[in-house]
Amino acid sequence: MIVWENMSSQTAKAPQTRFRKRDLFYLMPLWLISLIAPDPYLYHKKEFKKKELFYLAAICFAPLIWSDSHFHHLMVLAGIYAILALGLSLFMGYAGQISLGHAAFFGIGAYTTAILTTRYAVPTFLAFWASALSAALIAHLIGRPILKLKGYFLALATLGFGEIFLVIVRESTSLTGGVIGIFGIPWFSVMGFSFDTYLKQYYLAWGMVTGLFIFSKNLVRSKVGRALLAVGASEDAASSVGINVSKTKLEIFDLGAAFAGWAGSLFACIMSTASPEAFSLGFTILIVMMVILGGMGNLYGPIAGAILLTWLMDILSKYQEYSLPVYSVILILLLIFFPDGVGTRLNVRIIYLIGYWAKKKKRDKGKL
Amino acid sequence: MDLWSYIPQLLFSGLTIGAIYALVALGFVTISRASQIINFAQGEFVMLGGVITYFLLNGAKLPYPLAALIAILIVMLIGFAMHLSILYPLRKASVLILIMATLGASIFLSSTSGLVFGTLPKTLPPFSGGEPLRIGKISFPSQSLWVLLSTFILLIFLYLLSHRTLLGKAMEASSTDPLGADLLGISRNLMVFLAFGVSAGVGAFGGILITPVFFTSYSSGALLGLKGFIAAVLGGWGKNTGAILGGFVLGIVESLSLAFIPSGYKDGVAFVILLFILYFRPKGILGSPFIDSRRW
Amino acid sequence: MKRMVSFISIFTLILMAWVSPAYVAEKSPYKIGVNLEFTGPWAEVTKLLKIAMMLEVEKINKEGGVDGHPLELIFEDNGFDVGRVAANITKFTQDKEILAVIGPFEDNLQGASRAIAEREKITNLIICPSNPMMRNLKQKWAFNIAQSDRIVSQKLVDLSLARKYKKVLVFHGAWPLAQSLAQLYKRLGEEKGIKVIVSGETHQPTDIDMTPQLIKIKPTLEKENVDAFYACTAGPPGPIVCKNLRNLGVKIPILGTHGFGFGFILALGGEAMEGVEFGAGKPVVPDQLDENDPIRPVILDFDKRMKERYGMGIDQFSGHAHDAVTLVYDALKRCGGKVTRETFRDALEKTKDLKACHGIYNYSPTDHDGLSKKDMVFVRIEGGKFKRIKFPGLE
């Protein structure tokens, strides 16, 4: 009884704080930082694995070890595709949907940046955010009806939208330059510091990858992430637990599109051109392959897949005419033998081999 | 008004291309009835039919009918090979993997065709002379009549195949009720294998018909396949008659839309139609219930 | 321990092999990057360009190169993709040894290439013609090899006058070159009294069926009673337009651009190409040139070498390839020993009276196109072959 009284008196005496507008101003940067800061309450000591530090160090120091500009160029591309694949893997790997039109959002991002920077002299930093916004906006508009579909139909509908965007971009020459695209996009620059060499662009791209990776990791471990997994597992069960399935799917679709918009914007600034090929079906296939082959259930998968496929494309480009047939054969083989991602089987094999080696060494030592 | 002077012409060219969409859609339906797989490489079979015939005609200097027949056989073999090498190993895989595998096969077929036969568009001599025929103000190549006639004959042929022959009946059974057919000893994998051959042959046949009118190049397969699929969905998924109907409807609507929109957007029309169908009537015009709801 | 030593040594060896400089030749070669569409719709043509260029480079190197420095071409494929064009030319500029880039072959790709060349200050020799949009940018570092749209349009107006066409309908492609050809033809034609109707319909360079657009144009053709149809396009769409037009029962004469002067055009179009006329580069009809033509010996010599080595004669493309290499060689010779990207560009800009397969090249700070109207001839397709036609007073 005393407890009851204490509690009720405490609540009754709780000070009423008024929410003032300027609190938003103070809270906003905190909120932004919290998006990418690791959550100390969710990260137990064991969770923060050594391998994450190792990967971070590898990303930081790799371009300094291999100072070949071709390597830098490849890794810049890999970084951009990693951002794209990360967004797509949230949509495909966690929420269990299929999107065959994601290249459209990449292209929207690229073209938004291109148009804003070349025609309206918007600084690239602002155009960068505008691209993500426009991609997410368009995703929001088309997402609601599309996401009601499932399986083959969803794949087809997204494919249809991708193709429609391609046709629109190719035909509206006044807006998008049609077949010739838009060129002359300036380098990406922030407050006077412009990323003009491959090395700087590398750090830009991979810095973004790291930031978005931490953001995604936080997302996946949060309530939203669990809702995603639930929707991916079974939509009916998820809605029976009280998850708003269509809202969740739409949110993650928008997020994936925003990631793609960012990636497209970086791509436009680095290539200094934007062209309709960014929307093509072949590019969508490439991105989806990155997500599948990297491994669909985790966040390292798309990044690994991006690096893997970028390197593969580079190696194949030496074979000029034979590159596409060989590429498709390799893709089909990888799909047949590694449908869960290249890493899983390889991991198992390597772990097995290491274990075998360790046991063998022990046995030899024992014998001696 | 100018519109009325060319709408009949557009109607006619729409019928012609509609027949080709119908053939591609038939190919899609054949495979997916047997195995619930959507074969994105279907359009490539059409392309290969035309390109291989061109090669046999001009490179190996075979007589036209023989070249056409051999080309159809070769494309059927390619269909069989595709089943054995790609889809049989993946028969238990998820929808996504299957889609990507068939897309990969489509890239392989189109790029290899570009490699082996060259990347320039190819054409074949029309079956009966090159002078266009005229009806009033409409002139169309005589090939269009051949296309319509052959499509009709093929439909009859496929109907006879599936309803009068034992093999055809086995394929029908396997697609309608896989478990029951299995219990009766019909090997599902064999039926899928045959379905691939049949749809490859149908596609190649369509390719040979259409190449004299429209040029075929190594990259024309992809778009044709997508539009054929849209036609199949439009007409009613799962039925042969639906595929044919959908093909013609798509061809005519696409052609007529040219009267109202700039010509560059023509390809977008098919996809807009797809989206309409998917939202409002996923079963298509002659809708039929899904055969195996698990896959969808 | 042993294992670790061997591992470290192997690793070091690999690292050394990666970063070690290439072996140094007798005299370092002059490197030129080549950024062409080896995969894609033009693959067969660019293959021809590549072997023609290599033939010419071989000849130059056998004769001692440029003061003993061999000439070396580095080929990169851009797959008909603007993004890869940009990537390739950026890669070339990062390599300090590359002096110039022989640029894309297709018109819709040249914009990206030129912009990057201008920013990175490297010479870009583009094989396709320039167009007003590009010329307005007044770029210092971009040069075009092919006949410019001005010359082509002038030649075609001359042809129309000679044939006494009073009304011509123009159907053009959606890329800047085709649009500018149409506009220039209209302007020049109307100055000379020809009525030119430019159709609102367009097509893309990769289209393989233009029947829808032609169906919409046909009523205008009949109503206005035009004398000729100008298919203002290049590449595969050219013969396809002709074929579609004939399939629709239209019988009026067809005019083409210089992009019609290739062998595969005839193969594609077949009967529909009979009677098509256009202004072409001289390599299209090597055996029908005038005796006193100053570039005739150059053409015949290259034709002979191509037939000896590859079994095929000269044609418009191999002519372009030959000219690209010749221009580079000539400019390098005039650099006078100090060869850098800047001196190369200046030397190239001072090219005067260089006899090459397509004509006599003259570059200047205001003219980066090089050729003139005299370097083209009138050609008619008859019997499946190119036949030169002459009109007195209009050459």
Name the residue among C133, C69, C116 with its Cα closest to residue C97.
Answer: C69
The domain spans of chain A are: 67-280
Residue-level pLDDT at B294: 32
Beta pairing partners, C355: C360
Q: Average pLDDT of chain B?
A: 83
Q: CA–CA separation, B115 vs B117, rounded Å?
A: 6
Of C320, C354, C370, which Cα lies nearest the Cα of C51? C320
Tens of pLDDT along B220-252? 888 888 898 889 888 877 777 788 889 999 999
Strand partners, C143: C125
Model confidence at B155, in pLDDT bands (50, 70, 90)? confident
User: What backbone phi and psi angles, to 5 degrees, belong to C221?
Assistant: -55, -45
**CATH placement of domain C150-288+376-389:** 3.40.50.2300
Q: How far is CA C212 from CA A63, A155, B295, C199, in A?
A: 53, 30, 39, 13
What is residue B15's predicted lDDT score, i.e. its pLDDT?
87
Which structure tokens are listed for A303? 């990044």
Average pLDDT estimate for C351-377: 85
Summarize pLDDT for A291-308 with one digit per residue, the tens. 988 888 788 888 888 988
8-state DSSP, C140: S
Which string of DSSP letters, residue by residue, matches C242-255? HHHHHHTT--S-EE
Residue B163 has pLDDT above 70, yes or no: yes
Task: Assign B296 a pLDDT band (cuts: 50, 70, 90).
Answer: very low
CB C349 within 8 A of CB C320: no
Mean predicted lDDT score pLDDT of chain A: 80
Q: How far is C86 from chain A (nearest CA, A)?
A: 6
Over 70: is that where the pLDDT of C169 sits?
yes
Which of B19-28, B76-85, C240-249 comes out lowest in average pLDDT? C240-249
Strand-pairing partners, residue A283, are none
Round to whole Å and give the CA distance between A53 and C306: 61
Residue ranges and CATH numbers for the domains of chain B are 13-126+140-295 (1.10.3470)
C30-148+295-375 and C150-288+376-389: same fold? yes
Question: Cβ of A66 and C18 within 8 Å?
Answer: yes
Q: Using the beta-carbon criterion (under 8 Å), do C82 and A273 form an inter-chain contact?
A: yes
Tokens representing C200?
């609102």
User: Is B222 an 8 Å CB contact of chain A?
Assistant: yes
**What pLDDT is attached to residue B164?**
87
Q: Which of C106, C203, C214, C215 should we substitute to test contact with B (largest number of B Cβ atoms within 10 Å)?
A: C215
Q: How far is the alpha carbon of C395 from chain B, nearest alpha carbon, in Å? A: 33
- Report the pLDDT averaged over residues B84-105: 88
Helices (H) and strands (E) in chain C, counts: 13, 14
pLDDT of residue B106: 93
- Interface confidence, given as ipTM, is 0.84
User: Which residue from A minimizes the CA distance to B261?
Assistant: A171
Tell me, yes or no, if B274 comes closer than 8 A to chain A by beta carbon.
yes
**Would you kindly state where each structural domain of chain C is located, as residue ranges?**
30-148+295-375, 150-288+376-389
CB–CB contacts below 8 A, A to B: 111
Predicted confidence (pLDDT) per residue in C256-274, tens digit: 888 887 777 887 777 788 8
Q: Is C367 helix (H, G, I), strand (E, B) or coil?
A: strand
pLDDT at A299: 83
Under the banding of pLDDT at 50, 70 and 90, the label for residue A33 is: low
**Strand ranges, E, within B242-282:** none
Q: What residues of B are in contact with residue C179 (Cβ under 8 Å)?
A: none
Question: Over the stretch A122-176, which tens digit does the pLDDT of each residue have?
Answer: 888 889 999 999 999 999 998 888 888 877 788 888 988 898 888 888 888 777 7
Structure confidence at residue A350 as a pLDDT band (50, 70, 90): low
- Considering only A62-71, B27-36, C269-278, C368-377, which range has the smallest mean pLDDT? A62-71
Confidence of residue B295 (pLDDT cuts 50, 70, 90): very low
Could you say which of B94, B100, B268 has the minimum Cβ distance to residue A167?
B268
If we measure between CA atoms, which residue out of B271, B254, C234 comes closest to residue A167?
A: B271
pLDDT at A178: 73
Nearest to residue C238, comparing CAs of C230, C248, C249? C230
Q: Report residue A220 as tokens.
A: 């996946």
Per DSSP, the three-state class of C386 is strand
What pLDDT is stored for residue C25 in this prediction? 45
Greatest Cα-to-Cα distance within chain A, rounded to the nearest angstrom: 84
pLDDT score at A39: 53
Beta bridge partners of C280: C377
C-proximal residues of B, 79-108, CB under 8 Å: none
Lowest mean pLDDT segment, chosen from A78-87, B255-264, C355-364: B255-264
Q: A43-61: per-residue pLDDT in tens?
A: 454 555 667 777 788 888 8
pLDDT band at A36 (very low <50, low <70, confident <90, very high): low
pLDDT of residue B248: 92
Q: Is B268 on the interface with C (CB under 8 A)?
A: no
**Percent of chain A scored above 90 by pLDDT?**
18
- C30-148+295-375: in CATH 1.20.120.420: no
C241: part of which helix (H) or strand (E)?
helix C237-247
